[in-house]
Amino acid sequence: MAADVHKKKSWEVPNGSLAPGDGQHTERSESPTPGLAQGTEPGMEHSSPRREARGGKSSSSCGLGPPQPCGRGRWAHSSPAGPAPTGCCGMGRGGRSPLHPSPSMGDTRTDAAWPVVPGAGQEGAMFVHTRSYEDLTSPEDGAAAARSPEERRGEPAEQSSMEQISKDFSELSTQLTGMALDLEEEMRPGKEGKLEPSPQTARRDSVLSGKEEEDVTMDAWRLHRKHVFVLSEAGKPVYSRYGSEEALSSTMGVMMALVSFLEAEKNAIRSIHADGYKVVFVRRSPLVLVAVARTRQSEQEIAHELLYIYYQILSLLTWTQLNHIFQQKQNYDLRRLLAGSERITDNLLDLMAHDPSFLMGAVRCLPLAASVRDAVSSSLQQAKAKSLVFSILLSGNQLVSLVRKKDQFLHPIDLHLLFNLISSSSSFREGEAWTPICLPKFNSSGFFHAHISYLEQEMDLCLLLVSTDREDFFTVSDCKRRFQERLRRRGVQHALQEALRTPFYSVAQVGIPDLRHFIYKSKSSGLFTSPEIEAPYVQEEEKERLLGLYQYLHSRAHNSSRPLKNIYFTGPRENLLAWVTNAFELYVCYSPLGTKAGAINAVNKLMKWIRKEEDRLFILTPQTY
Amino acid sequence: MAAAGAAGQEKQLAPTLLSFFIYNPKLGPKEGEEEKKILFYHPNEVEKNEKIRNVGLCEAIVQFTRTFSPTKPAKSLHTQKNRQFFHEPEENFWMVMVVRNPIIEKHKDGKPVYEYQEEELLDKVYSSVLQQCYSMYKLFNGTFLRAMEDGGVKVLKERLEKFFHRYLQTLHLQSCDLLDVFCGISFFPLDKMTYLKIQSFINRMEESLNIVKYTAFLYNDQLIWSGLEQDDMRILYKYLTTSLFPRHMEPELAGRDSPIRAEMPGNLQHYGRFLTGPLNLNDPDTKCRFPKIFVNTDDTYEELHLIVYKAMSAAVCFMIDASIPPTLEFCRKLDSIVGPQLTVLASDICEQYNINKRISGAEKEPQFKFIYFNHMNLAEKSTIHMRKTPSVSLASVHPDLMKILGDINSDFSRGETMDEMQTLQLLQPC
């Protein structure tokens, strides 16, 4: 099955990673390989303990597949044709090379490295193939790691299958855009313990991650609104939003020193405050997350955003694997595993800076006539499969419909991570993707497999089917087909298209002259609604400023020791009102010319309007399979 | 918070001062000499290595934040158990105050469990308290740098030890609130006539006692007139109202026959007496020592003797150049000139004050509670606080409300666009 890709990889990268050192693995691991339950694989020896870590125990999240003879990845493409039968395949999400550890128990060792095609960044197909076990042959990590690339090449059997796969891939042309291939190199297994960045690494920082390298001593770097750093307990950089991790390694070392100093005194560092900025620390062993923010957000809100970053990392690795890695090797360089995922994290941070969903901890629905939404939901509901847990239809970052298994609930954080994943890559438009993903709030120890595809090329309508079984690509893909068929049969496609043309409503519809914008969140459903942001908040900074004001009101209303129910804020450019009850939260922005009495009147009107429109703005009756 | 759950009683422990230290990183730059950096450390019993470690942490925090803003390093550090406040009043001299977060003590299975309340303390309040510590030190000792020039590290350390050893005991951290942020001055409301009388009294006094450089006049612990710069008056006012006056309350309140009263100089012509300086003018051996204060430290750097003289509720501060030591003779002269006039003036003011009160009916509970502060003249007025005393928190509203007011204050001072904010409603304080 070795694809060309695969071959390439195999030679290239010798550096250590968790992955078993054999070349075989080079592909990214894709999935949580359920099938790989220990011992099941032929050829596989015991993988080193560290590999095992990745698995989660949760059976729910990933079914253990029957033992597969070989765990190679299967990739899926829109044309079902090509896929290799065995194995699951993870697709890389655009741009990142995820490594998904397999959740299943034990020894799964699939570490995948991506194929590395230097320079191919944009084009390379990014599927992740799982290697079969055999590939993994490595007896022990050490040994595996020690193997020279040549040795790896010497395992033709595997490769051929890989080739097949990769060929299929290329035919399918599923391409994840923007992956930096170099990253993959990083990921590849190499000798452990060698942490020095290879030349490629350096390149990757500049090229792959797509970030300009910034001089971290320059004012421009210092003045970024919000820095985010992730580091391991050994003080090793894992992620930095701006500037290369290398250049910042000493700064991160200091951060870790501060954290450990206070921990040694049985205390815990929370934040540092200075004029104009704060530094917030969040400790989630084995990681430390730090933000340096010049925004007006409270410490609690910044910490909340850092938790999102933490969950984002878990969604790629699972908590179980993350912990296992660091138990095995404290100073492991996690960037190897996360290489390529920077884009997803960057995108998440950008999204949080202008999308109120994260602040609200809720999801926004696409405004849609109830009858259309019902038709869509029941079509989704009918297109079910045994392994399906959630079927989600979304457009932009708005939810169109969500159907779930009985008694299974999707936490808004998990849904946000899925939205972010989809919005961070345009590659999903190209076909069907099948990718492992951990939903940390649902189960942080295992992977689900997500089938991601757009319904039609031109339409911004993305279908996300979350399955527990990595072998179920075809079944799930068939669900998609059935769903589309039903949609067609019910004749709602046109109405849906129509609704997509105006994904936001105007605040003018409410009919209150001084009203500029609002956010209404229904606490019980975890959904919120909000009109389009219109003039005078046209420019990006203005939009962010408005969100900043909402953040400010939110933080005052939710201050842990001094919560407030009502806040009326009069500023030079707008007036705002916040009202928090047990059932809902409402944040309203008015023109600066109105009065407080007027604002309160307007709230009553607004509430009536929302009630009247609620079946269009919200999903009132969530469906289950 | 006071509600006792079924689990047993909860006890709330107020925030307390854990440590307070002053260091200068330039004094012990080499490894192994870290102890030399430390100029003052409270509590002094702490083991040397721990002192060094804690100072090291502060240096590291400050240095670390300079990565992100070279000119605006850290002001405070929040941890689970405490908050540390940093202040660099003079270049390279750092003052650090560590305040333990309030704790709720619960009992679970018979064992005490401590829960730190991390969001209770307001940074601005305690940063201001720390800045006041410096201002107060400087008022009585001059700048750190001046002490170094006078006699090097040794002299500075002695002065710090002598001052802070006592001053820190007067910090009542549990009752600090928004008023500490303003550190304002309460002015005594007065009609024009009476004001002019006071003005003319001061002019006459300065004329007769020609060595007087500055004068300040207070009534009922409220300021009426001051010749000092605002910032100097602000801290002097704080000293007078929270330390000097309260210490002299007892003799006045004491009955005529009490032993304390007996020590007071019997003077039948007037009620005037020195709050600083000689206790008994009739005793030729009495010492005429007045506290020294330092004002205008940024430019002219003046060193003055502070003479505080009081008759009934009126107090007047005369400040004379430190190069002229006030003699007993001078004190007697002052007493004989100022005493009778001040006594008359004090009763005039009192009479006028009572008339005004009757007219305005100020005795009623005010309809609105407010705190007013004017940045231009530092005028402060609060209907929330009852009379200030040095030790007890006397806000007449729920402490949570005071904290919300503090929150609003910090929002205003931070915000470019925070002009006004209204209508805050508490979510039921428990």
Helices and strands in chain B, H and E counts: 11, 17
Residue B196, Cβ neighbours under 10 Å: how many? 11
Strand (E) or helix (H) holding B343: helix B328-360
Residues A525 and A487 in one domain: no
Residue A447 in domain: yes
Is A282 in the B-facing interface, judged by CB distances under 8 Å? no
Residue A19 in domain: no
Residues A512 and A570 in one domain: yes
Question: Which tokens in the block code for residue A507?
Answer: 């605040």
Strands A515-522 and A527-529 come out as antiparallel
- Residue pLDDT, tens place only, B314-342: 999 999 998 988 888 888 889 888 999 99
* Residue numbers in B near A222 (CB within 8 A): 67-70
Going from the N-terminus, what domains does chain B have, and what CATH number goes with each?
11-176 (3.30.450.70), 192-250+269-360 (3.30.450.30), 369-427 (no CATH)
Residues A498 and A508 in one domain: no
Residues A428 and A549 in one domain: no
Question: Which tokens in the block code for residue A232?
Answer: 């391991």
Question: Which tokens in the block code for residue B219?
Answer: 């009534």
Query: What is the domain-level CATH number for residue A484?
Result: 3.30.450.30
Is B341 in the A-facing interface, judged by CB distances under 8 Å? no
Residues found in chain A: 625
Q: Answer whether residue B129 shows pLDDT above 90.
A: yes
Residue B426 and residue A262: Cβ atoms within 8 Å? Answer: no
* Domain boundary, last residue among A450, A470, A502: A502
Residue A203 in domain: no
Cα separation, A348 vs A342, in Å, equals: 10
Cα separation, B171 vs B401, in Å, equals: 22
Q: Which long-range contacts (CB under 8 A, 24 or more apart) does B149-156 make?
A: B153/B27, B153/B36, B153/B39, B156/B39
Nearest CA in chain B to A225: B68
Q: Answer whether residue A616 shows pLDDT above 70.
A: yes
Q: For A273, which of B67, B76, B403 is closest by C-beta distance? A: B76
Residue B65 and residue A274: Cβ atoms within 8 Å? Answer: yes
Cα separation, A430 vs A448, in Å, equals: 21
- Residue pLDDT, tens place only, A347-370: 999 999 889 999 999 999 999 999
* Residue numbers in B near A274 (CB within 8 A): 65, 69, 72-75
pLDDT (0 to 100) of residue A143:
34
Is B119 in the A-facing interface, judged by CB distances under 8 Å? yes
Q: Answer whether residue A88 shows pLDDT above 80.
A: no
C-alpha closest to that of A30 among A80, A139, A104, A81: A104
Residues A323 and A415 in one domain: no
Give contacts of B 261-280 with A, CB under 8 A.
Answer: none
Is B409 in the A-facing interface, judged by CB distances under 8 Å? no
Strand (E) or helix (H) holding B341: helix B328-360
Q: What's the DSSP call for residue A46? A: P
Residue A154 in domain: no
Task: Evaluate the CA torsion angle B177, B178, B179, B183 in order and state its sign.
Answer: positive
- Residue pLDDT, tens place only, B197-214: 999 999 999 888 888 999
Residues A577 and A463 in one domain: no
Nearest CA in chain B to A275: B72
Q: Is A53 left (phi over 0), alpha (psi -120 to 50) or beta?
A: alpha
Question: Which tokens in the block code for residue A189?
Answer: 């297994």
* Residue numbers in B near A254 (CB within 8 A): 60, 63-64, 67
pLDDT (0 to 100) of residue B8:
55
Which distant-in-sequence residues (6+ apart) come within 8 Å of A252 by Cβ? A229, A231, A235, A236, A237, A240, A245, A290
Domain range for residue A464?
368-502
Residues A276 and A397 in one domain: no
Q: For A571, which of B61, B418, B426 is closest by C-beta distance? A: B418
Residue A256 in domain: yes
* Residue numbers in A near B72 (CB within 8 A): 274-277
- Residue pLDDT, tens place only, A31-47: 333 332 333 333 333 33
Which of B49, B52, B62, B119 to mutate: most A Cβ within 10 Å?
B119
The number of distinct structural domains making up chain A is: 3
Q: Answer whether residue B378 shows pLDDT above 80.
A: yes
Residue A245 in domain: yes
Residue A279 and residue B119: Cβ atoms within 8 Å? Answer: no
CA-to-CA dists, residue B51 to A206, A269, B96, B179, B385, angstroms: 44, 19, 12, 32, 38
Query: What is the domain-level CATH number for residue A309?
Result: 3.30.450.70
Packing angle of the helix pair A299-317, A412-423 (nearest 10 deg) = 70
Residues A481 and A539 in one domain: no
* Domain boundary, last residue among A485, A502, A519: A502
Cα separation, B220 vs B353, in Å, equals: 11
Residue A242 in domain: yes
Strands B222-226 and B273-274 come out as unpaired
Cα separation, A585 vs A567, in Å, equals: 12
Give the side-chain half-sphere CA count within 13 A for B30.
2
Is B421 in the A-facing interface, judged by CB distances under 8 Å? yes
Q: Answer whether residue B282 shows pLDDT above 60.
A: yes
Is B4 in the A-facing interface, judged by CB distances under 8 Å? no
Residue B119 and residue A559: Cβ atoms within 8 Å? Answer: yes
The residue behind tokens 């320059």 is: A218
Strand (E) or helix (H) holding B180: helix B178-182
pLDDT (0 to 100) of residue A181:
31
Residue A270 and residue B78: Cβ atoms within 8 Å? Answer: yes
Among A80-89, A373-382, A610-619, the minimum mean pLDDT is found in: A80-89
Q: E-strand spans in B174-248?
A: 212-219, 222-226
CA end-to-end distance (rounded Å), chain A = 37
- Nearest C-alpha of chain A: how many angstroms from B241? 31
Quick one: B71 exposed, middle or buried, by C-beta within 10 A (0-12, 13-18, 19+)? exposed
Q: Answer whether residue A503 shows pLDDT above 50.
A: yes
Cα separation, A392 vs A469, in Å, equals: 17
Q: For A562, which of B80, B407, B414 is closest by C-beta distance? A: B407
Residue A44 in domain: yes
The more confident residue out of A11 and B57 is B57
- Residue pLDDT, tens place only, A145-180: 333 333 333 333 333 343 433 333 333 222 222 232
Residues A41 and A78 in one domain: yes
| Mean pLDDT calculated for residue range A523-551 | 90
- Whether B86 and B22 have beta carbons less than 8 Å apart is answered as no
Residues A508 and A471 in one domain: no
Q: E-strand spans in A18-139?
A: 89-91, 127-129
Q: Sorting pLDDT into bands at 50, 70 and 90, what band is A520? A: very high
Nearest CA in chain B to A294: B68
- Nearest C-alpha of chain B: how many angstroms from A576? 9
Cα separation, B142 vs B149, in Å, equals: 11
Q: Phi and psi at residue A194, in whole multiples of 5°? A: -95, 110
Residues A120 and A47 in one domain: yes
Is B419 in the A-facing interface, judged by CB distances under 8 Å? yes
Q: Answer whether residue A126 shows pLDDT above 70.
A: no
Strands A398-404 and A363-365 come out as parallel
Residues A492 and A526 in one domain: no
The residue behind tokens 């955003």 is: A305
Residue B68 and residue A292: Cβ atoms within 8 Å? Answer: yes
